[in-house]
Chain A
């Protein structure tokens, strides 16, 4: 028997297990470590499966087309520069990189700032129709992006902004999910008395937002910004529909273009093109992985 006070003293299940299983402890310990070994092997195998396509990509990016056609090895080749030259002859991948970066950075900034502004407006002012507007926004949040695709294309055509970055950037001002997330966040973290104090000090409403609300919201804005950036960076269907000129293509669209171009004749160059689009994200992930993982966990549990 285990007496109650022990449980209340935060005894871990592990310790409890030890106590209850004392007679077989030696046996189970031995068995346990071999089971552990098997599990680790399987985990590492899974990790290798996760990583091997990237490894194949990196190795093949350094090999010539002929070498790739004859067989696969994990030994890097020497054709890296040659592959690079072949690729750049047809497709300027750095241009796609630049375009993706411009769009994603601006989208992230616009989403962060205007979502914070809207969330603040919803959270700290009372006005007619507020609840209706908020609920309406939540309903629209459920609507998948593809629903309005054709109308969006027509709208851009009539506004004369097809084949520009405007339709890819400006709509970021209205991001219902981010507004929703930030409103929930600021309602629990910013006390109205703080705003009152700032008002008494004579600060204007916009100034209060900039100097009081924004700093408090920053952690939540940063979390959302990561996902906004990734989402915008990976967006494929919108730029595919909106952009026509190859020099304006974003990286994902350029990948599709790569497939249909002369580069596809040279597999080494293809792999290199893909690698260039992938490696920067992997490096960024190396530094941000902990933060990203925590953000995903937080986002899921809160809902």
Chain B
């Protein structure tokens, strides 16, 4: 369709960061409550997420995967340990800098309620750029929305879009601002199987094309199979790491850690 050369290459993206790891964490703990009733949601996790890598974080309910994602995205503060995003130590940032980091470096997609109901699809997609006061490149927007097959839905409000279309609008928003890393929390949770698969294919395609790092939390082995690697969590710890996972290897691993 359009030459990929007009967009930043993987090499260019790597140059923006100090190391090849876009996101990393070291000995991260997260404890809720205190004393007897204290709950360790994340119990000493260290992990690295390379530039352009699509990682799925797997695990049963209560395994701490969503908490870990929130810590990695700077949405929550770890009780102990450190998190780096694009080379920046998240712990040292004030609300302003943290907001700028989210706006300029991070994209979010989650299960539902990704969009502001008062804005059209186009307005939702361009929102982060407009909040940053950055110009919107119409050609790039065109390419992204066409590739996600929502080019003719741009002037509709979220309530007028199907669930799959809403999620693709969220993906488009996460891609347009060229964030270094996209966090996705159960992005297919509210979609039927076929639509979910198509969305994951779009995500992986985008990661490869634009060199974006993708960290996806899911409990669906079928979804995790689209990733380059899968981290399997249980009881707040990473119990297994699978390269090029398949549905079967994931199910086996899950059975092993929960068994």
Query: Does A associate with B in a complex?
Result: no
Residues on B facing A (Cβ under 8 Å): none
